[in-house]
Amino acid sequence: MAPAAAAVAALSDDLLREVFLLLPTPADLVRASLACRTFLRAARNAAFLRRFRRLHGPLLLGCLVHHPRNADQPAPLLVPSSAAAAAAARAGGVRDGDFSLSFLPRGGWLSGCAPWQFLDCRNGRVLLKNRGSEELSVADPFARSCISLPPPPATRPVGYGLVADDGDSSAFRVFCIVQDGDGGVSETRTLVLSSGELSWADVAVLPHRPSLAGSRAMQANGSLYWTLEGGASMVALNTATNEFAVLELPPPLRQLSFDVVEKGEDVGNVPLYLLTMRGFCVEVWAGAEDGAGVMTWTRVEKSVRFHKAMAMLHDSVEMYHHGLDVIGVAAGVLFLRQWNCLLSIDLETMKLRKLSEEDCSSALIYPYTMPWPPSFLNPT
């Protein structure tokens, strides 16, 4: 055995994984894992892949944009978040992706109508519902494939969430919040379906019926969150323990849109972070329980004001009259909608960009990242 090969063989898988964590980007891990069978075996570990993802974050491609009311553009499309993202996407094979989702059952959007409704988008997968049959589907634009799911056994589903597994890109869970029955039934239930079983299970009950009011699921630190009607609180579902909680929101955020974000590698007892735009400034609020089950909130970050930069982008001060809608945060980029414009702010450089010249006022928009891990790294 050659000296270099003998040295590699002498390293344990655990030691190799610690070395891999020092690699700067996911692309470097992909290249390293293909160098030899020993490296590939070490990298094919779900716990390691999850840890690597928390440390390095996803590769951001941009936003999936869908105009359900636009007959001229019924299918969704990918809007790159930057020129660098577009170049990275091309290098990663994005040209092979079908972001119009034409591979969906019954022809997707090829009929010219909008039979599918967007429900969530996580880790390069899209959760959709067929408006006619009520069946669900988890679509993978890169693999040009989808997994059909049975509709939840419920008459009144009010919220959905797609939870991906950062240690195995083929694994996922779908959560459905249900409020069946008439006004005399005062409970909210959670159903969950896993990719391994493809059947629904009843896993949690909240003994009252808060109104989600069409709120989109947010996700961080192993929990799903939905803002409740009125904006004074949100409901949280721990996806590991299937426990519900209702959390009071800080008063300054109760009339604003925001996203729940993660900070750092740890996933244990960490504060809950909310990111919003207020007064043309990016603000981050941290919340923690005070021991008595009450959330206390503190503003921990505030950026410079973006009012002048936004006026230059729009070439009009009239844009001040339109509020800012936080769409979501992915890979350190904040996505915003201001009236009909899709914008982004790099949270490291604080650079503001206008992403599309199309009218996005009524579009459904989801940040989109490359699936992780690549399928060849999925544990065998």
Give the range of the structural domain holding residue 255, as residue numbers without chain letter: 44-377
Task: Look at residue 160 and tell me whether its pLDDT is greater than 90.
Answer: yes
User: Does 314 map to a domain?
Assistant: yes
Q: What is the mean pLDDT of the chain?
A: 86
How many separate domains does the chain show? Answer: 1
User: Does 280 map to a domain?
Assistant: yes
pLDDT digits (tens, 9 = 90+) for 168-177: 999 999 999 9
Residue 291 is given by DSSP the state S
pLDDT digits (tens, 9 = 90+) for 167-215: 999 999 999 999 877 656 678 999 999 999 999 999 988 888 888 877 8
User: Does 18 map to a domain?
Assistant: no
Q: Is residue 51 within 8 Å of residue 20, measured between CB atoms?
A: no
Q: Is residue 86 within 8 Å of residue 95, measured between CB atoms?
A: no
pLDDT of residue 110: 58
Task: Look at residue 9 and tell me whether its pLDDT is greater than 80.
Answer: no
Task: Look at residue 7 and tell me whether its pLDDT is greater than 70.
Answer: no
Tokens of 284: 């981050």
Element holding 307 (H helix, E strand):
helix 307-314
User: Does 4 map to a domain?
Assistant: no
59 vs 329, more confident = 329
pLDDT of residue 120: 97
User: Does 21 map to a domain?
Assistant: no
pLDDT digits (tens, 9 = 90+) for 77-92: 999 987 776 666 565 5
| CA dihedral angle for residue 269, residue 123, residue 334, residue 239, rounded to 10 degrees | -30
User: Cβ atoms within 10 A of the Cβ of 127, count?
Assistant: 24
Once rounded to an integer, what is the mean pLDDT over residues 24-38? 92
β-strand partners of 80: 62
73 vs 88, more confident = 73
Q: What are phi and psi of 50, to 5 degrees?
A: -65, -45
pLDDT of residue 178: 93
Cβ partners under 8 Å of residue 132, min gap 6: 115
Q: How confident is the model at residue 223 (pLDDT cuts 50, 70, 90)?
A: very high
Task: Look at residue 267 and tell me whether its pLDDT is greater than 60.
Answer: no
User: Does 119 map to a domain?
Assistant: yes
User: Does 11 map to a domain?
Assistant: no
User: Does 258 map to a domain?
Assistant: yes
Task: Look at residue 112 and tell me whether its pLDDT is greater than 60.
Answer: no
Once rounded to an integer, what is the mean pLDDT over residues 287-298? 82
pLDDT of residue 94: 53
pLDDT of residue 131: 86
CATH number at residue 176: 2.120.10
Tokens of 228: 């409740």
SS3 content of the chain, % helix, strand, coil (to 5): 20, 35, 45
- pLDDT > 70: what percent of the chain? 84
pLDDT of residue 314: 60
Residue 378 gets the label, from left (phi > 0), alpha (psi -120 to 50) or beta, of beta
